[in-house]
Structures are given as structure tokens and as C-alpha cells.
Amino acid sequence: MTRTAFFISDGTGITAESLGRSLLAQFENVEIHMITKPYIDSVEKAHQLAAIIESTAVKDGEQPIIIDTIVDSQIRDVIRDAPGFKVDIFSTFLEPLEQELATHSSYSVGRTHAIGSDDVYMDRIQSVHFALDNDDGARTHQYDQADIILVGVSRCGKTPSSLYLALQFGIRAANYPLTEDDLDETGKLKLPRALEPHRHKLFGLTIDPRRLAAIRHERRPNSRYSSMDQCVQEVTQAEALYRRMHIPFIDTTRFSVEEISTRMIAETGINRRFSPR
């Protein structure tokens, strides 16, 4: 079964899409074509979109699913008249909240993802810059400013996790690659000297060697770097180092970057500078 879902907003569409994807992910047996339509902020745009929704219903032979966070009542009325199964997030939740709080909502477009506090916004930007500046062991002299330092073999998810922690939570995350240069004379992976003073900040990432080989093959096909033997060796050595040094770690193979990051926060108890938006 295939259905089309529209995520519609008069703002960025991030809230409608995030909630919509979370809801629709529960239906594994249904193939859903997802379309995000942000900034539907005029009646004219609403009518144009309603026509698209109508033509989609004819083409699919099924009414589309419409998940929206439209604030403006006139625009919402146009979308409501389009053929589709409607999930109106704001009216579903805001009206009961208004009754409970005994006050009216401001019904302001874009409040969730507005800049808001300048301090919070600048902290977010600075955290992202920190993650970029301290990617892949680039500036180890800044590790005293890091909230967390991710370690792991190449292509196990360190960079995207660092950036997600920065952008979503304002966490200053550095990351350091474990390579053959860190092997000792016995062939064991040793803790790099730059990380020694910051052991309490370390968090390890590991990955299934087969998945790692597939990822590396996309970057350097048919190379020693992407070979199964090399991937098995590196992952085995990294995990042995984590256990020997009592470094907490997580297997990233089946987790999204969101899950990796939130699991790290839960396990380490690291403080978020702000809530995700």
C-alpha cells in the first residue's frame, strides 16, 4: 500500500514534519511518500497547495494524509477543504491547553524555531563552530573547553554526532580518530597522548565491521582502508581500548544520529545548554 503524506506549515514545517514522520514511522507495512510544504503563509499559496493535494488524491486513488501546523484560520480553512485525512496539530493540542491554562494562545507563526534569546542563538552557533574546529583531532589544544570528546575509528559516526550535539543541545563536542598511529609496540591500541588529560570527557563509538566496510567502500572502494580484515581489526582494537580504559561507548550500527546523541547524554549526564528545537 502506498499513500502520500503532506506536512504543511506557515512556518518552517519542522514541527509538522518531525511529528508526522514519528507518527507515520509506526506503520511499517505502508509505503508513504512524504512531502513537506513550508511557508504556506497566504490564502493564495493555500489554494495552490489545495489543488496539488486534490490532484494527488486523484492520481493515488486514495486521499492524502495532511499533517499541519497552520496558525492562520483562513489558510487552515482552505487546507481543510482539500480532500485528505487531516491531522491539525495546533487545534488538537492548543485548544485543550487553553482550557487547562485558562488563557488564550498567542497563535504566532514560527515561535518554535524563532531565534528567541540572542544568547541561546549565539551559543548554538558557537557550539557548531567548536565542533567544526575540533573535528577529526584538528585542534587538541582546545579540549579543555570541550563538554565531551567522541573517539572511534574512521567513519563510525563521530562527526555527525558532534554536529548534532552542538546544533540541538549547544554541547561543545570534539572528536578524535583512533588510527594505526596509536598502536603500541605490542600491537595494542593505546590512548593517544592528547586525550590522556581529558579521559573523563571521552565517549567511544563503535560499529559493526560489515557496516563500516560498506561505508568505507563508498569513499575508497577496493582499498585496504575499506577491506573487511582492516575494519574488523580496527573495531576490535577500539573496543578493547574502551574496555581497558573504562571508556563508555555505544554501537552506532543501528542507531540514527538522534538516538546516538541522546543516548550519550543520558549515559554521561552531560548538561544541555538548551532544549532541542
Q: Domains for the chain: give ranges and CATH numbers.
A: 3-113 (3.40.50), 118-268 (3.40.50)
pLDDT score, position 82: 96
Q: Are 151 and 204 in contact (CB under 8 A)?
A: yes
pTM beyond 0.75: no
Give the pLDDT mean for 73-77: 91
Annotated binding site: 152-159
pLDDT (tens digit per residue) in 200-221 = 999 999 999 999 999 999 999 9
Annotated binding site for ADP: 152-159
Q: Are 60 and 31 in contact (CB under 8 A)?
A: no
List, in sequence order, every beta strand (DSSP E) within the chain: 2-8, 31-37, 65-68, 85-88, 148-152, 173-177, 202-206, 249-251
pLDDT (tens digit per residue) in 157-203 = 999 999 999 988 999 999 999 999 999 888 899 999 999 999 999 99
175-212 b/e (C-beta count within 10 Å ≥ 16 → b): bbbbeeebeeeeeebbbbeebeebeebbbbbbbbbebb
